[in-house]
């Protein structure tokens, strides 16, 4: 009997089982929404506190990567914190390299997506159980990107 914990275990539909599990974790999280308008970006999310002992003001689901880039998520909070730290580090690296606060949103989304994709193939780690929105302004205007646990990222999407 094969273990479902192997990175190379495929589901019947041909997808990696661990990535399906990560997507399920993200889908079971509280709702997060990103809306792009002609005037800017709106990030909104549902904030569920599992206990009355949690201080409501100490728990945030929308965080700043920089003063012009924000992010929210659906899924596992600790996974989001790891990805947020990566995004902030990439922003600081860009800022120090190019002496510019206007990092392209697609670049930071790609960097986060690359880390998420790497975790779908590496031994000893599991895929991130989080879907993440990155929104902000750069030289080309306002942008909204979604990054999935598989490492795929989408920008400027319309429904």
pLDDT for position 8: 62
d(CA 81, CA 145): 17
pLDDT for position 120: 86
Tokens of 6: 């192997």
In the chain, where are the structural domains located? 17-47+54-155
Q: What b-and-e string marks burial along 11-25, b requiring 16 or more CB atoms within 10 Å of the CB? A: eeeeebbbbbbbbeb
d(CA 88, CA 61): 16
pTM for this predicted structure: 0.85
pLDDT in tens, 38-88: 889 999 998 888 788 888 888 889 999 999 999 999 999 999 999 999 999
Q: If one looks up domain 17-47+54-155 in CATH, what number appears?
A: 3.60.20.10
Tokens of 137: 């302004």
What is the tally of helices (H) and strands (E) in the chain? 3, 7
End-to-end alpha carbon distance in the chain:
42
Return the axis-axis angle of helices 105-118 and 77-98, rounded to nearest 10°.
130
């Amino acid at each position: 009997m094969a273990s479902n914990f192997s990175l190379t275990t495929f589901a019947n539909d041909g997808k990696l089982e661990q990535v399906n599990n990560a997507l399920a974790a993200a889908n079971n999280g509280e709702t997060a929404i990103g809306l792009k308008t002609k005037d800017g970006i709106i990030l909104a999310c549902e904030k569920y506190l599992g206990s009355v002992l949690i201080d409501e003001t100490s728990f945030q689901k929308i965080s700043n990567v920089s003063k012009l880039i924000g992010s929210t998520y659906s899924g596992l909070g600790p996974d989001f914190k790891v990805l947020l730290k990566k995004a902030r580090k990439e922003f600081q690296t860009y800022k120090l390299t190019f002496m510019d606060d206007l990092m392209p949103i697609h670049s930071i989304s790609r960097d986060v997506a690359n880390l998420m994709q790497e975790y779908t193939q590496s031994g000893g780690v599991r895929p991130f159980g989080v879907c993440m929105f990155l929104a902000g302004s750069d030289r080309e205007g306002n942008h909204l990107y979604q990054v999935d646990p598989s490492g795929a990222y989408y920008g400027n999407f319309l429904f």
